Each structure stands twice: as structure tokens, then as C-alpha cells.
Structure 1
Amino acid sequence: MNKKTFSFPTAYTVILIVMLIVLALTYIIPAGKYAKLQYDSSSNVFLVESPKGDLKEYKGNQKTLDELKVNIGYSRFKDGSISKPVAIPGTYEKPERPSTSILGALTTIFKAPVKGLYDSIEIIAFVLVIGGLIGIINKTGAFTAGINALSHKSKGKESLLIIIICTLVAIGGTTFGLAEETIAFYPIVVPIFIAAGYDALVAIAAIYLGSCIGTMASTVNPFSTVIASNTAGIDFTQGMTLRLIMLVIGLIICIVYIIRYGEKIKKDPSASYIYSQREELERQFLSNKNNEDAPEFTLSRKMILIIFALAFVIMVYGVKELGWWFEEMTALFIVVTFIMIFFAKLSEKEFVSEFMNGAADLLGVGIIIGLARGVTIIMENGMISDTILNSLSLGVAKMNGIVFSTFIFFVYIILGFFISSSSGLAVLSMPVMAPLADVVGISRDVIVSAYQFGQGIMSFITPTGLILASLAMVNVTYDKWLKFVLPLVIIIGVLAIVMLGLGVLF
């Protein structure tokens, strides 16, 4: 009689389990809310929502902020640097949470994923369009021809690919928060790494860890560093040296870690954590790798790949310099799709069919993104975010500076699990956390760095972030990723604590 072996659940099941856990926590953790302040630029007033939901209007000026003990310059609201609601220190209350029946709980658990899909529709549309475009390019044979050419040229220099890709993605992460956009890179990079003798985990790591360490040690990222510093009442250049050192050391550690694993796989493929999927992944990504009839790398195929690559350059420029977001990025790749008509040499029916097939391949990724957003919705409706924040901020007044910085780092690790939005966590927590630095006698930029390091390190593993969507691109289960990345998380975590301690001392 054959014993049934345990099979780790898919990304969908993992998120649903997390959703159930968070729903259960809303029955255990008391409801709590801070009063929230938001600036209305059209009428130049501050709107303050009390924990009970009552709205009150205040004059839009610095005096109002001073009276409410919100230590942020009025100009930050006026110029649009801070647009999300800001928690007002000292206003935490425990409003009564409406009692929910079993039917109500079931309604919540089933409606949350639907609301998550609605809230994430821009990202999902972006993913589907990218999938459709990749489907067309795959049909032309451009990827296969390019991969064959690249694999021949990179013989003996495969580790250079890891260094280049990881570094470029980290630069994007530290400057403008390159994260969700990297989903588009996996179908391109995975075949290159597999052709070079690595496994798919190396490709995922080069992109995902590059993004994680970049955003974790953000230097000028407007979605974390700038908004967190503004909300803390300091200039974003304060603490930049510390974060820049963290970026360089952390990136080197990540690259060395990936290369060591990759070289081990090249020497002994059976050492791969996903060795059992090797043949499946080679069929999926390298169908023509060893085929003598592999497509020739013609001028038209070169042009297809050049146009595709230029689209990413334009995307990066648009996000960083022009304020683009998913609507504009999706429109860009739709334009690129139409341009491909002139190079793909496909009939109208083939073109449309391959676009739809490509989009269908990434539909699961889009659903995972929506499900992850559903977790956040349950937590917001259950009013437990503010309770967790308030509980963790108590009892720090007598702490030593280094102990305090380490404590805040772990506070943000916990908060980072529940609140995956960097800007959302910044405006919620900084008005409460930043004044604690004054009490302990350290610079507020240490709080900003602790916020970035804590939330950033959670992004390496948290199922409510992007990792499950990234793993779904190559059908790798979450347990394999954890086995691969947890030693690195510990190393980076120790580095973060040391860097925060140095920030306190110097």
C-alpha cells in the first residue's frame, strides 16, 4: 500500500488560509481606531474622521496641525506629498465592533476576495495585457531564438547575468519602488536562466530579491522613504547614508547567496529545491532549446525583442519621471502589442488567438493578486490594524536607544505582514511612532529606517505580498521558496539590526 505524500497547497489555498486566520483575529483582537486627518485641496481644509466615524472640518493651515499634535509641515499636504489619511497621535479609541453572526462571517470571507479583485483591477489588467503580448512574442519564436543566442554567448559567464539583473532591479526598487512591475520580467528571464544551467528559483531570486532589497533600503523612493519622512516631520535625506550602506551590503549578500546556490545547481542539478519539476519547466520554457530546427535569430525577431525591451525602458521612465501608474503602463503595452502586428508575421486570427492564450496563462497570477488584497480588506473592516499599532507602541519610553531601534524593527515586521502597502503603513504609523524617538532620545530618521527595514524584510516571505504571484509564474510552491530564502532572511535581518544600532550611535 502506497503512502500518500504531503503536497504543499497552492498559492490560492495559502492565501485563503491566511484570510481565515486574519478573520479569526478580528474576533480575538479588540477593535480600535485612531482619528484620521486628510487634506481637501479643493476647499483648503482638513477633514478629521473620529474613531466613531464622525467628520469634522478644520482650517487648512499649520496652526491646525500643531493643535492636533500632528508634527508634519502644512506644505507637505498642500503640495500633494501626503495624500492619504494620517493617524492623529493620542486619539486611539476602542469603538464597539458590530456583532457578526456565523452567516456574517461567511459573507465576509466570500466577499473579501471579490472586493480584492475589484480593488486590484488595474494591476490585474496590466498582468493580463503583459501575458497576451508575451503569448504573441512566444508564437513568433523571438524568445526561443534570443535565448539560444544568449545561452551561447554567456557560456562561462552565467553568474554575470545574476549580478546585472539583481543590481538593475535593486536600483529600480531603491529609487521608485520597482515591485509589482517586475511580474512582467519573469517569462523573459526564467528561460534565460534555465538555458544557462540554473533552475527557476535562481531566476525568481535574481528579480524578486533584487526588488526586495532595493525597496527595503529605499533611498529616494517616493512611495516609502519620502512619504514616511514627510509624515515623520523630517527631510527624506536624513538617514540616507545609513540606508545606502544597507543597500550596498544587502545587495552584495543577496547576489552572493543566489550565485552560490546557482553554482551548486549547475554542478549537481539534483541539489535544486525544485528538481522534481525540472523536466516540466524545461518543457514549458525551453521547448526548442535542444532542437536543431530552433528558429533563426532573424532581423524581425531581433526587432521584436528590441521593441519589447524598449517598452520597459519607457515604462521605468514613465513611472519615475512622469508619474505613471498601472493605467498608463497597461496602455503602453497595448500600444506595443499593436506595433507587433507589423513584425509578428501572423494572421489576424492567429494574432488574436495567441494574445488570448497568453493572457489566459497569467490569469491565475491576477487572481492571486486580488486574493491577497482581500486579506487587507478583512483586516481593515475588522479594525485591528490600529489596535496592533497602538499595542506595539506602548511601553517604550524607558528603553535604551539600541534596544528601542531593534524593538521598532520587529514592530514593523509584524505590521508589514498585515499592511503590505508601504505608503499606507507610513501614514498610519509614523505620526504615532516618530514622536517615540523623541522620548527615547534618538533621531527620527532611525524610525523611518526601521519602518523600511521591517516592512522590507517581510516582503521576502509574506504571502500577502507579491511572492505568491511571482511563484505562480513558474508553478513553484511557497514551501520551496521558504526553504530557499529563510537563511537569507535571517542574515539580512541581523544586518538590519546592526545598521539600526549604528544609526542610533552615529
Structure 2
Amino acid sequence: MKKKLMFPTAFTVLFIVLILAAGLTYLVNAGAYAKLVYDLDNQVFIETFPDGTTRELEGTQKTLDELGVSSDIAKFQEGSINKPIAVPGTYEKVKANPQGIRELLLAPIQGVYDSIGIILFVFIIGGVIGIINESGAINAGIAALSRVTKGHEYMLIVFVTFLVALGGTTFGLAEETIAFYPILMPVYLAAGYDAIVCIAAIYMGSSIGSMFSTTNPFSVVIGSNAAGINFTQGVSFRLIGLAVGFIITTLYIVRYANRISKNPEKSLVYDLSDEMNAHFKKESKEVEFTPRRIMILIIFILSFVVMIYGVANLGWWFEEMTALFLVSGVIIGIFAGMGEKIFVNTFIAGAADLMGVGLVIGIARSINIILENGLVSDTILYGLSTMVSGMNRNIFVILMMFVFMILGFFIASSSGLATLAIPIMAPIADAVNVPRDVIITACIFGQGLMSFITPTGLILASLEMVHVTYNKWLRFVLPLLALITILAIFILLLEINI
């Protein structure tokens, strides 16, 4: 019997992209911009030239003005800009550093090392989920939630998408959403939906929120600081985009969800439904929602509240978040009345379930490592910036969004893209009479759109969490990507002409 052709797993997709990235280092000229970083201890600037030499400069606004960097010195002094800034007009070709077989083999290892913070966070989350599952609290909670939403299951989509979008637009909720999938997958399956609905509500909520950022410090604030403007400039247009984008996205997901709830065979992952149900769907037998189980879920939910507060207000990152959930897991284990041996074994088994997700995250990072070490990222930025200079302002701003989409593939970090590209693009915008806040909007729109599909971002790790292949996701999201792209173009033209 002829075997059915299957789409490759996330690992294979990433390794293919990794090989292509390495090949790019042989085809694209190596080059670099001079980079400027502020030394907080000595209150001076350190400029590193493409050849690796450095010089020390006075930590003053005059230095920034002379270098053509439009940022405010206060942003460096308070630590708002803490990554190296590209210095405009300093691009030059450098000696090529093509990434061969050795570098290709070492890159995934280095990617795991570089991503160890989020990987460990994922493992701890897996362990905590295992403990909660063992306690029966999730089964009981799903049964109670199903009773409450019966006949109005679509509210699960609206509620989750709204909350995640709110987190994305305010403080850049993205990687943290990895923790939501194991909890919400059983809920959506019990409601008659599929894994696509679950990942769409969570991932697209985060992506829409981050794309239409209002106060997100990792994109719009850092980008505005690098451009020398206040991040509130242009915020009204981004708020319009956020509202309309949320409505479009939610209606799109609900429409798909209603279709498959009426006819499960229309699900894009119908062929995987047995596997999904076996892995995620809880037994249908009624589980009593005891006060102990209610308290376990309250502790778990409060952990997310504390995490969001810590990230938004206390400068927390993965170390603190991981410690928080580790403590939560122990407390939940105590409330569940587990013995020490059962607790440890269950925790380890839960962490092991997410081993694949952790490796996907590390391999995705390895692609960026190859491009950085191959010295081609700056060359791509230089080529794209040259291409769009001197255009009609309306055409310019639309093309800028697509330029940032391309750059978003090579530079997955929103803060990294902002600090590298904005100092280069802002002066070009000045030359064609485009306000700098429009460039910030084009930047976050472009990278936001690319985040829907780029394998170098978070999407493959998210898909691995729910056992969905990349091709299934593309079939679902590409029409939505087209709709949001049209919306983004409309908002950009509105902002530049009003």
C-alpha cells in the first residue's frame, strides 16, 4: 500500500530553514553597521566598528547628534535603551564568515543554551500541569466550565482572545502564553472545537495585541526611544487598529469554530482528532468540584496574575516566572495531598511531555545565531533601506511595512529589530517627509504580520504544544493574514494623511 505523504514535523521544518540560512551566508555579502552602546557605570558611549575596534565617546546628547542617532540621551541614562544601537551611515562590507557544517551542527546546541530561560520555564509549567491533572482539578473545572458556557461556547473564544490581546498590546505577552495551551486545550475540545481554535485564540490574540501595541515596552516603547519620539505619538491609530483587528480575528476564529462544531469533518485537523482526544481530552465521567480542587485552580490562576504583575511592573523575566511556578507547583501538590514520591514522579512526567517544545524553541533560536554569526543581517537591512529611499511617501510607508516583515523573519526579537533598524530607517523617513511615529507603526505592523507565520518565531513551538503541523496552521491563518494586512495598510495610510 502506498504511504500517504505527510507534512514534516516542526523539527524538520526548522532544520530546513537552518540549512537555508547557512546557505545564505555564502550568497550574501557580509557587512555590518557600527554599534553604539551606553556604559551605565562609566556614563560613556562605546562605539564598536565593523572591524571590531572600539572607541569611547562622551555620554552626552551632543555625541548622539554628531553620530546622527536621533534618540534622547535620557533614554540611555535611565536604561530604556540597553541594547547596541546601529549608527546610521556606517555600514561597510566585512570579511565573509560563511557558516559551514561545523557551525550548522553547533548552532542548535548554542540555540538551546541561549534559550535556556524559556525552555526551563516550559519544563516547569509542564510539571505543574502534571500535578494539577493528577489532582483531578482540571477535570472538575472543565466540567463546571462546560455547564456554564453550554449553548454559548463561542464566549470561550472571545474571552481568551480578548485577555491575551490585552496582555500583548500592554506588555508584550507572547512567550508566556506557552503555559496556556495544556490548560485550555481540554476546555476547547470539551466545547466541541479543535486544536486550531485553541491555538488561534491564544496565539492570534497575542499576535494581534503585540502588532497593534499601545504601551508594549519591547516594541513600541523601545522603537520610539530609538527614533527620538514619545511612544504615545501615533497611539490613537494603533488603538483603532487594535479594536478592528480584534473584531476581525475573533469573528474569523468563531466562524471556523462554529463550522467545525456543526460538522467535525470540516476541521483542518480532523485526521488527528483521535490523537488529540487521547492526549488532551479528559474523561467524560463527572468529577466532583470539591473545595480542595477549587483552591488548586485558584492558586494556579493567581500564579498567572502574579506573573503578569511581575512582568509589567517589577521587571520580571523567565528566571522569576520559573521560580514563581515552581513554588506554585509545590503549594498545589501540598493542597492536593500528594505524597513526596508521587509528586516528584508526576512533576517529572509532566515536564517530559514538553521536552519537544523546549527543543523547538532552541532550534528556532539557532537560525538567528547562524545569520548573526554569518554577518548577513546588517547587509539585508542595508539593502532594504537603500531600496525604499526617495519614494513617494504613501508608497514608501507601505513598502516599509513589508521591509519590516522581511526583517522580522531574520530578527525575531521585537526589541532587537527596533534597536537595529529604527536608527537606520528614521533618517530615511525624514528625507521623504514621513513622520517618525509612522515608521514605528510600520515596524510593529510588519513584524506583527510576520509573526503569524514565521518559523523563526514562536509559532512552531506553539504548534508543537497542541500537536498541529505547520501546513495545517498555514491553511487556517493565511486568509486572516491577508485581511489583517489590508487593515494595516489602511491604518498606515490613515496615519500619514491625517
Fold conserved between structures, TM > 0.5: yes
CA drift at 1:396: 3.3
Three-state SS of the structure 2 residue aligned to 1:38 is strand
- Report if the CA contact (8 A) 2:143-2:287 is conserved: no
CA drift at 1:278: 1.1
| Counterpart in the other structure of 2:269 | 274
- 1:328-357 CA-to-partner distances (Å, cap 9, x unmatched) read 000100111121132112221111000000
Q: Distance in 2 between matches of 1:363 and 1:311?
A: 22
Q: Distance in 2 between matches of 1:183 and 1:117?
A: 17
CA drift at 1:285: 1.6
Q: Distance in 2 between matches of 1:397 and 1:196?
A: 52
CA drift at 1:184: 0.1
**Residue 188 of structure 1 pairs with residue 183 of structure 2:** yes
Consecutive unaligned residues in structure 2, runs of 5 or more: none
Q: Distance in 1 between matches of 2:6 and 2:239?
A: 41
Q: Distance in 1 between matches of 2:389 and 2:16?
A: 37
Q: Distance in 1 between matches of 2:238 and 2:333?
A: 45
**Residue 139 of structure 1 pairs with residue 131 of structure 2:** no
Q: Distance in 2 between matches of 1:388 and 1:16?
A: 21
Q: Distance in 2 between matches of 1:200 and 1:266?
A: 12
User: Which of residues 322, 327, 341 is equivalent to 1:335?
Assistant: 327
| Counterpart in the other structure of 1:438 | 430
| Counterpart in the other structure of 1:7 | 6
Q: Distance in 2 between matches of 1:469 and 1:12?
A: 10
Amino-acid identity (%): 57
Runs ≥4 residues deviating over 2 A: 395-398
| Counterpart in the other structure of 2:300 | 308
CA drift at 1:398: 3.1
| Counterpart in the other structure of 2:88 | 89
| Counterpart in the other structure of 1:42 | 41
Q: Distance in 2 between matches of 1:399 and 1:105?
A: 39
Q: Distance in 1 between matches of 2:348 and 2:230?
A: 47
CA drift at 1:148: 1.1
- Report if the CA contact (8 A) 1:304-1:343 is conserved: yes
- Report if the CA contact (8 A) 2:111-2:362 is conserved: yes
Comparing 6-15 with 276-285, greater Cα deviation is found at: 276-285
Q: How does 1:443-458 map to 2 (within 5 A)?
A: 443-458=435-450
| Counterpart in the other structure of 1:77 | 76
Three-state SS of the structure 1 residue aligned to 2:95 is coil
Q: Distance in 2 between matches of 1:63 and 1:153?
A: 62
**Residue 407 of structure 1 pairs with residue 438 of structure 2:** no
- Report if the CA contact (8 A) 1:120-1:369 is conserved: yes
Q: Distance in 1 between matches of 2:481 and 2:61?
A: 42
| Counterpart in the other structure of 2:309 | 317
Three-state SS of the structure 2 residue aligned to 1:58 is strand
Q: Distance in 2 between matches of 1:350 and 1:143?
A: 18
| Counterpart in the other structure of 2:65 | 66
| Counterpart in the other structure of 1:480 | 472
Q: How does 1:54-453 map to 2 (within 5 A)?
A: 54-98=53-97, 105-289=100-284, 291=285, 294-453=286-445
- Report if the CA contact (8 A) 2:388-2:396 is conserved: yes
- Report if the CA contact (8 A) 2:140-2:288 is conserved: yes
- 1:119-141 CA-to-partner distances (Å, cap 9, x unmatched) read 00010110000000100110111
Q: Distance in 2 between matches of 1:505 and 1:334?
A: 51
Q: Distance in 2 between matches of 1:45 and 1:89?
A: 19
| Counterpart in the other structure of 1:24 | 23
Aligned-residue RMSD, C-alpha: 0.9
CA drift at 1:279: 1.7
CA drift at 1:474: 1.6
Q: Distance in 2 between matches of 1:274 and 1:68?
A: 54
Please tell me the residue identity of whatever aligns with 1:235: N
CA drift at 1:43: 0.6
- Report if the CA contact (8 A) 1:144-1:286 is conserved: no
CA drift at 1:19: 0.3
- 1:114-166 CA-to-partner distances (Å, cap 9, x unmatched) read 00000000101100000001001101111011111111221111111111100
Q: Distance in 2 between matches of 1:395 and 1:504?
A: 20
CA drift at 1:277: 1.2
- Report if the CA contact (8 A) 1:232-1:430 is conserved: yes
Q: Distance in 1 between matches of 2:377 and 2:46?
A: 21
Q: Distance in 1 between matches of 2:332 and 2:207?
A: 32
Change (3 A) 1:374 1:490: same
Q: Distance in 2 between matches of 1:246 and 1:489?
A: 14
Please tell me the residue identity of whatever aligns with 1:139: E
Q: Distance in 2 between matches of 1:395 and 1:287?
A: 54
- Report if the CA contact (8 A) 1:415-1:455 is conserved: yes
- 1:208-231 CA-to-partner distances (Å, cap 9, x unmatched) read 000000000000101100000000
Please tell me the residue identity of whatever aligns with 2:89: G
Three-state SS of the structure 2 residue aligned to 1:441 is coil
- Report if the CA contact (8 A) 1:471-1:478 is conserved: yes
**Residue 505 of structure 1 pairs with residue 487 of structure 2:** no
Q: Distance in 1 between matches of 2:457 and 2:39?
A: 30
- Report if the CA contact (8 A) 2:405-2:449 is conserved: yes
- 1:174-214 CA-to-partner distances (Å, cap 9, x unmatched) read 00000000000001111111100111110110000000000
- 1:90-130 CA-to-partner distances (Å, cap 9, x unmatched) read 000001114x5xxx711111100000000000101100000
Please tell me the residue identity of whatever aligns with 2:60: N
- 1:15-45 CA-to-partner distances (Å, cap 9, x unmatched) read 1111001100110010010000000010111
- Report if the CA contact (8 A) 1:31-1:97 is conserved: yes
Change (3 A) 1:395 1:131: closer
CA drift at 1:395: 4.1
Q: Distance in 2 between matches of 1:181 and 1:250?
A: 21
Comparing 390-399 with 420-429, greater Cα deviation is found at: 390-399
- Report if the CA contact (8 A) 1:446-1:503 is conserved: yes
Q: Distance in 2 between matches of 1:281 and 1:315?
A: 29
Three-state SS of the structure 2 residue aligned to 1:47 is strand
Consecutive unaligned residues in structure 1, runs of 5 or more: none
CA drift at 1:411: 0.1
CA drift at 1:363: 1.0
- Report if the CA contact (8 A) 1:401-1:441 is conserved: yes
Q: Distance in 1 between matches of 2:266 and 2:30?
A: 48
